[in-house]
Amino acid sequence: MANPFRYTGCWPPLDILMAYPNWVFASDEETEPGQDETTIRPEAQQAFISDETDCTAARATLANGQTAIAFLSILNRKIETINIHDGNEWWSLRGDYGQVNWVPVIDTRSPEGPHWPLVRLSDPNIFPIRVVSVLASMDGSPIVMTVPRSHEIHRRARKSWFKFWQ
């Protein structure tokens, strides 16, 4: 029998995600039928975001006031990817390690073409986005961050890049 609550190549349904906010990669189960290195399962503890947490549920508030469920991919205690369900489908943003520069993610591996819709970082109805994790971190505070509109990002990035080469 397959393990319950295992998702390979996709995110959990929203009701399952909100019932189990913390998720880990099931790397010890890669040889199970239908599972691979992308398979996730609920983390054993669901009280706080731990050092073991690979992904955690969040709520996102878009610039136009719309709220959405988000799924944060975490690497070394930093948000690597913000996955947002807009009510119909998922779309994603990937950030650099400093969480300054964000870019839309398009899954080009799908044979049907891009899997997630392209989101423009300059869209004033979407950005800035404020993201707050459902659970708190080990220090007792939730993960809270804002992804600004693109013109703000590019201005900072250009200045940093220019200073780097001087």
From first to last of its 166 residues, the chain has per-residue pLDDT tens of 467 899 998 899 999 999 999 999 999 888 888 888 989 999 999 999 999 999 999 999 999 999 999 999 998 878 999 999 988 888 999 987 667 788 888 766 655 655 666 788 999 999 999 999 999 999 999 999 999 988 544 444 443 333 333 3
* pLDDT given for residue 31 in this prediction: 85
Give the distance from CA 66 to its chain's centroid. Answer: 18
Cβ count near 16 (within 10 Å): 15
Q: Which of 162, 31, 13 is nearest to 23 (CA)?
A: 13
Which pair of structure tokens corresponds to residue 47? 């009280």
Could you give the CA distance from residue 119 to residue 100 in angstroms, rounded to a whole number? 17
Q: Which helix (H) or strand (E) holds 153?
A: helix 150-165
* pLDDT given for residue 1 in this prediction: 41
Secondary structure letter of residue 29 according to DSSP: G
In b/e form, how buried is each residue of 123-134, taking b as 16+ CB within 10 angstroms? eeebbebebebb
Q: Which of 80, 107, 111 is nearest to 95 (CA)?
A: 80
Could you give the CA distance from residue 35 to residue 10 in angstroms, rounded to a whole number? 11
* pLDDT given for residue 150 in this prediction: 80
* pLDDT given for residue 151 in this prediction: 58
* pLDDT given for residue 158 in this prediction: 40
135 in Cβ contact with 49 (< 8 Å): yes
| Residue 83 three-state SS | strand
* pLDDT given for residue 41 in this prediction: 96
